[in-house]
């Protein structure tokens, strides 16, 4: 038994879409939360903290 | 080859979510810091200049009211002349929409870095999720193509209707503009995916429609256009923002491709 062999077999087999879907969509959802907080959230304090970033990135501001 | 025997079995490999998150964190933090550098060199001084115009315009619009107020008061309360002036000062101090705001200098820069990095990690999470779902091998070079697509989706397409604006520019209500921005980015992302991977001509036709429709509908516009900063400053800002965001997206794409390839090999 060799961990190297099992590893290379594993790496050569692409993951099925159903195994990837939940982690990928979870990551995308987390990304949207971060983008919302930095770029879109209406709270005054968040807006003022991210003010220069929002203008630079072309997010609608004010 | 795994670093430890524990990493060899499929059940004990780091989860796919963790690998996507690690790729996004690596790419996002580096690209976010790079964006801060470019922004600091090119954009920040334009924003500061526009804010001096904004403050001056607010002071000028407050002045006539103060004048009228003084006339009314002159008959009765001569001693209250200081009151309108102090209200005016209060108004200028509140120019940033009220509430807490970072102090100028280091604190403002710190929060800008924080916002840039969370924005960049957010975009990198979307990018890494897309690379994972696509499932094809990626290098930093093919990552550049993904970054270019991100630039088109999240900067160029929304900017055609809502160009990056300096502080003090008249604009439609912010929620309406945000809605149009998100819809345009979503439609452009779907269109690029269909153009790249759709095989049927009908899908390509649908892609073209998705590209064009947001701009036919048009971005929300203010009742009256106007800006306190000179038009030349606004043009400089659009050009500088276009360059800074292009650099950011190409870096983010290349980094995401590189980190993704590395974690695929390690996994």
Looking at the partner chain, which of A14, A24, A50 has a beta carbon nearest the beta carbon of B115?
A50
Q: What is the CA radius of gyration of chain B?
A: 25
| Domain extents in chain A | 16-57
Contacts of A59 in chain B (CB under 8 A): 178, 181
| Cα–Cα distance for residue pair B244/B171, rounded to 1 Å | 23
DSSP string, B7-43: GTSGGGSPPHHHHHHHHHHHHHHHHHHHHHHHHHHHT
**Residue A34 near chain B (CB below 8 Å):** yes
Q: How many helices (H) and strands (E) does chain A have?
A: 4, 0
| B127 neighbors B27 (Cβ within 8 angstroms) | yes
CA distances from B204 to B93, B131, B176 (A): 53, 22, 29
When scoring A60, A61, A62 by the number of chain B Cβ atoms within 10 A, the one with the most, hence best to mutate, is: A60
Taking CB atoms and an 8 Å limit, are B125 and A45 in contact across chains?
no
Taking CB atoms and an 8 Å limit, are A52 and B108 in contact across chains?
yes
The strand pairing partners of B227, in sequence order, are B169
Taking CB atoms and an 8 Å limit, are A51 and B101 in contact across chains?
yes
**Residue A41 near chain B (CB below 8 Å):** no
Nearest to B131 by CA among B210, B203, B204, B193: B193
Pair of tokens at residue B244: 């800074």
CA distances from B267 to A8, B1, B112, B259 (A): 10, 9, 34, 12
ipTM of predicted assembly, 2 dp = 0.82
Taking CB atoms and an 8 Å limit, are A58 and B99 in contact across chains?
no
- Per-residue pLDDT in tens (0 to 9) along chain B, 267 residues: 444 444 444 444 579 999 999 999 999 999 999 999 999 999 999 999 999 999 999 888 876 655 444 444 444 444 444 444 333 333 333 345 578 999 999 999 999 999 999 999 999 999 999 999 999 999 999 999 999 999 999 999 999 999 999 999 999 999 999 999 999 999 999 999 999 999 999 999 999 999 999 999 999 999 999 999 999 999 999 999 999 999 999 999 999 999 999 998 886
Q: How many helices (H) and strands (E) does chain B have?
A: 9, 0
Quickly count: other Cβ atoms within 10 Å of residue B264's Cβ. Answer: 17
């Amino acid at each position: 038994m060799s961990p190297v062999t099992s590893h290379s077999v594993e790496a050569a087999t692409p993951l099925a879409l159903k195994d990837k879907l939940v982690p990928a969509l979870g990551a995308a959802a987390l990304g949207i939360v971060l983008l919302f907080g930095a770029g879109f959230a209406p709270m005054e304090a968040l807006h003022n903290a991210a003010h220069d970033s929002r203008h630079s990135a072309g997010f609608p501001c004010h | 080859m795994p670093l430890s025997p524990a990493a060899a079995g499929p059940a004990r490999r780091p989860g796919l979510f963790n690998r996507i998150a690690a790729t996004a964190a690596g790419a996002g933090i580096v690209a976010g810091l790079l964006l801060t550098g470019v922004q600091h060199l090119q954009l920040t001084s334009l924003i500061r200049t526009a804010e001096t115009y904004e403050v001056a315009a607010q002071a000028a619009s407050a002045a006539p009211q103060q004048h009228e107020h003084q006339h009314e008061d002159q008959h009765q309360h001569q001693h209250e002349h200081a009151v309108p002036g102090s209200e005016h000062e209060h108004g200028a101090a509140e120019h940033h929409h009220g509430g807490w705001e970072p102090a100028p200098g280091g604190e403002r820069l710190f929060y800008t870095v924080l916002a840039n990095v969370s924005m960049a990690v957010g975009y990198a999470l979307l990018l890494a999720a897309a690379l994972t779902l696509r499932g094809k091998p990626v290098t930093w070079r093919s990552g550049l193509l993904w970054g270019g697509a991100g630039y088109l989706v999240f900067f160029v397409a929304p900017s055609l209707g809502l160009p990056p604006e300096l502080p003090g520019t008249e604009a439609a209500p912010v929620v309406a503009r945000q809605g149009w921005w998100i819809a345009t980015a979503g439609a452009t992302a779907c269109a690029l995916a269909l153009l790249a991977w759709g095989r049927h001509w009908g899908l390509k036709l649908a892609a073209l429609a998705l590209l064009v429709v947001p701009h036919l509908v048009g971005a929300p516009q203010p009742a009256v256009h106007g800006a306190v900063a000179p038009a030349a400053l606004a043009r400089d800002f659009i050009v500088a923002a276009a360059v800074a965001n292009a650099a950011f997206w190409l870096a983010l794409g290349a980094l995401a491709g590189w980190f993704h390839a590395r974690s695929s090999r390690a996994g």
